[in-house]
Amino acid sequence: CKGINGLEKVVLREARGSSAEVYLYGGQVTSWKNDHGEELLFVSSKATFKPPKAIRGGIPICFPQFSSHGVLEQHGFARNRFWSIDTNPPPFPTSSSNKTFVDLLLKPSEEDAKIWPHSFEFRLRVALVPGGDLMLTSRIRNTDSKPFNFTFAYHTYFSVSDISEVRVEGLETLDYLDNLQNRARFTEQGDALTFESEVDKVYVSTPTKIAILDHEKKRTFVLRKDGLPDAVVWNPWDKKAKAMPDFGDDEYKHMLCVEAAAIEKPITLKPGEEWRGRQELSAVPSSYCSGQ
């Protein structure tokens, strides 16, 4: 159906009441609601929904380049291309029974081939699992006659009540590259991460499970990932927020990006090879997680 500015979107609804919205522009999830109808993702009130600008919020796909780690535009071009609905995707190795899902497809246009001269098929499945989990599976196939490399991220904007009350568990003691210090490498000290200023870090070789605890909402997001060794943590804080035209001045208090990614070691695909990267998000009442 039609979304903001007439852009096409797909709405997924699961029997128990959870839902998700996916824009064909960017192949981007812009809404994920639990079965009480509460929005779990952050989308800026200033997001423009106007190509060629990427939509500010939800889950932008960063491909074939994360950030400015290469010659392409920031975060690559997948997030500002029109994807199509894939009506006949090749079979998925995991069962899709009981899931509500949509399959999207991105293939490079002639213009894309000029800026990134590689032929590929990028299939994205967005699925709601009974109980309300949101699962994104990306399959990228090299349909070219030569190998190519890429970096990747699911740039997920979680909605949080108050950033100063949020903790992230699962990244403590790990190494990270600090984007605010020329990607210098440091080791995270101590306990769970908390936030009191701008953060823009790429944690490397992270565990498959990361938890984002929202103390005020008494909600924990659990991010599970597969094929995506790294994790970006980003919050622009007040100064950068003011500098972004499509982001409200105070909105940094109500969002946190935790991004399942493959950045430090780019993925190489030989002709005919396929790569798969999956992230599953759950939102559970915090008490259920205590002691984990």
Binding residues for ligand BG6 (CB under 6 A): 67, 74-75, 155, 179, 200, 232, 234, 259
Q: Which residue of the set 155, 251, 264, 280 is catalytic?
A: 155
Q: Which residue of the set 14, 21, 169, 259 is catalytic?
A: 259
Inter-residue contact 196 to 15 (CB < 8 Å): no
Residue 223: both structure tokens together? 């991010």
Question: Three-state SS for 1?
Answer: coil
Least CB distance from residue 7 to ligand BG6, whole Å? 18
Least CB distance from residue 156 to ligand BG6, whole Å? 10
- Strands of the 9-13 sheet, one edge to the other: 9-13, 19-23, 28-33
| Catalytic annotation present for 259 | yes
In a 10 Å sphere around its CB, with 0-12 CB exposed, 13-18 middle and 19+ buried, how is residue 243 labelled?
exposed
Least CB distance from residue 200 to ligand BG6, whole Å? 5
Identify which of residues 155 and 217 has a Cβ nearer to ligand BG6 in the complex. 155
Identify which of residues 259 and 280 has a Cβ nearer to ligand BG6 in the complex. 259
Identify which of residues 132 and 277 has a Cβ nearer to ligand BG6 in the complex. 277
In a 10 Å sphere around its CB, with 0-12 CB exposed, 13-18 middle and 19+ buried, how is residue 197 labelled?
exposed
Identify which of residues 34 and 179 has a Cβ nearer to ligand BG6 in the complex. 179
Least CB distance from residue 36 to ligand BG6, whole Å? 29
| Catalytic annotation present for 274 | no
Residue carrying structure tokens 């984990």: 292
CA-wise closest residue to 206 among 219, 193, 220, 197 = 193
Residues carrying an active site annotation: 155, 259
